[in-house]
Chains A and B, each alone.
Chain A
């Protein structure tokens, strides 16, 4: 087929579309939706009883701030990368916040070690943490993939992985508000593993989901 014929066919096939939201608006929309889900989860399960005390004295406050920054920046970067004319360097945007997040948890481990000794580094099994972040993170990832579905034709893998990271960071914030887990090492390991799993699953399966979302239009 000649390109000129293809143009004629594409024009014949044209239907109106709503232009994609700008990355800033899409990020704001995403944050609104994600916060609503987190609030609903805290209303359902209730805030942890010692939250105020922990926020005042523990490592939770910097950890929550870093997780929120990771989530916001990852979402903004995903929406940027979903557009063809944006630099791929946007993918690096959430990295400082993500490293900061890891650092706050690592610092918590050091503080626990200084207070409690080697016992503080004991790693137990916390499947509820894993289940919560997956259970909340994966549906939130689907929302993110739907919002960034126009990126299906450009950088679907990085867009989906960043979306997964943003969703998982939000789920981790929700978990920190609800679940009673004091040991920084446990938080580091279980939150870390869960966030990695959600991000990897999003990066692997997300492009397919985005294509399905696009085809439904």
Chain B
């Protein structure tokens, strides 16, 4: 019994110390992340990769808490990584890194939730449409398909040349970014941005939302 009491008593300081230790550990990690991000802003690729890899579990934790679907949560994580990359100049190294990171992650997760809401609205409308008696107009259907294809062709033709090239290489020919970059002479970053913009323009033009 005495030894049991002793070990229980021994645990008390450890339990008491735990929150402080956790806070100190978190502070040290935040400081380290701030330094890594400052180095990344200066162009240090190794520091940047290290930082993003270290942050990844936190991003996943936040996105999975917001989005139940694992795939969708991982998409939100990738949206967050892209936003961090594009908006890395907006980080102020004199401020803690974690709130900046968490705010971006929360926003991208929220964007996914909103997008899912819009999608489910459209899917519900499609479900209702599916219950309606199908008209016996196969010719009309193929005509509609041809019209849709023509609209898509027109929309692609109206994209700026850089976006058209990026879309063609990365989406239609399904080349890797490296291959597409070598073939087009555009940087990988420029290709990503141009492809993203092209997809957005097409969605807007063809009424796909998002």
Q: Are A85 and B89 within 8 A (Cβ)?
A: no
Interface: B109 (CB within 8 A): no
CB distance from B56 to the nearest CB of A (A): 6
Whole-angstrom CA separation of A186 from B22 in the bound complex? 63
Q: Which residues, 152 to 168 on A, are CB-close (under 8 Å) to B?
A: 153-154
Interface digits, A1-32 against B, CB 8 Å rule (1 contact, 0 not)?
10110111111111111111010000000000
Please, how many angstroms separate the alpha-carbon atoms of A84 and B101 in the complex?
8
Majority SS of interface residues in chain B? helix
B12 to chain A, nearest CB (A): 38
Cβ of A16: which chain B residues have Cβ within 8 Å of it? 41-43
Chain A residues within 8 Å of B81, by CB: 3, 6-7, 10
Q: Check if A17 sits within 8 Å of B88, measured CB to CB.
A: yes
- Asked if B85 and A20 make an inter-chain contact with CB atoms under 8 angstroms apart, the answer reads no
Q: Scoring A residues 163 to 205 as 1 if CB is less than 8 Å from chain B, else 0, what string do you get?
A: 0000000000000000000000000000000000000000000
With known contacts A9-B188, A16-B42, A153–B95 Cβ distance under 8 A: no
* Contact (Cβ within 8 A) A7 B56: yes
12 pairs, CB–CB < 8 Å, chain A vs chain B: A7-B49, A7-B56, A7-B81, A12-B45, A12-B188, A17-B88, A18-B41, A19-B90, A20-B90, A150-B90, A153-B83, A215-B193
A105 proximity list for chain B (CB < 8 A): none
Give Cα A171–Cα B56 distance, bound, in whole angstroms.
46
Q: Taking the complex as formed, is B202 at the interface, i.e. its CB lies under 8 A from any CB of chain A?
A: no
Is the CB of B180 closer than 8 A to any CB of chain A? no
> A213: shortest Cβ distance to chain B, in Å?
12
Question: Is B177 part of the binding interface, using a Cβ–Cβ cutoff of 8 Å?
Answer: yes
A214 close to B (CB within 8 Å): yes
Contact B56 A9 (CB under 8 A): no
Q: Is the beta-carbon distance between B89 and A8 smaller than 8 angstroms?
A: no
Identify B89's interface contact among A1, A4, A12, A20, CB under 8 A: A20
Contact A13 B52, beta carbon cutoff 8 Å: no
Nearest chain A CB to B186 CB, angstrom units:
12
Contact B45 A11 (CB under 8 A): yes
Please name the 9 residue pairs, one residue from A and one from B, whose CB atoms are nearest each other, closest first: A16-B43, A11-B49, A17-B89, A150-B90, A7-B52, A85-B103, A84-B103, A85-B100, A13-B189
- Tell me the complex Cα distance, A13–B187, Å: 8
In the docked arrangement, what's the CA distance between A193 and B154, Å?
Answer: 39
CB-CB under 8 A from A19, the residues of chain B are: 41, 89-93
Instruction: State in angstroms the CA–CA spacing of A15 and B43 once bound together.
Output: 5
CB-CB < 8 A to B85: which residues of A?
Answer: 10, 13-14
A84 with B89: CB separation less than 8 A: no
Interface centre among B40, B77, B187 (most CB of A within 10 A): B40
- For B90, the closest partner residue in chain A by CB is A150
B1 close to chain A: CB less than 8 A: no
Q: Is B104 interfacial (CB-CB < 8 Å)? A: yes
Q: Is A82 an interface residue (CB 8 A)?
A: yes
Q: How far is the CA of A151 from the CA of B48 in the complex (A)?
A: 21
Q: Which residue of A lies closest to B95 (CB)?
A: A85
**Cβ-based interface call for A83 (8 A):** yes
CB distance from B46 to the nearest CB of A (A): 8
**Known A7-B49, A15-B189, A150-B87; further 20 A-B contacts with Cβ < 8 A:** A1-B78, A3-B60, A7-B52, A11-B45, A11-B46, A11-B48, A14-B43, A19-B41, A19-B90, A20-B92, A22-B92, A83-B92, A84-B100, A84-B107, A85-B95, A154-B87, A154-B90, A154-B104, A214-B86, A215-B193
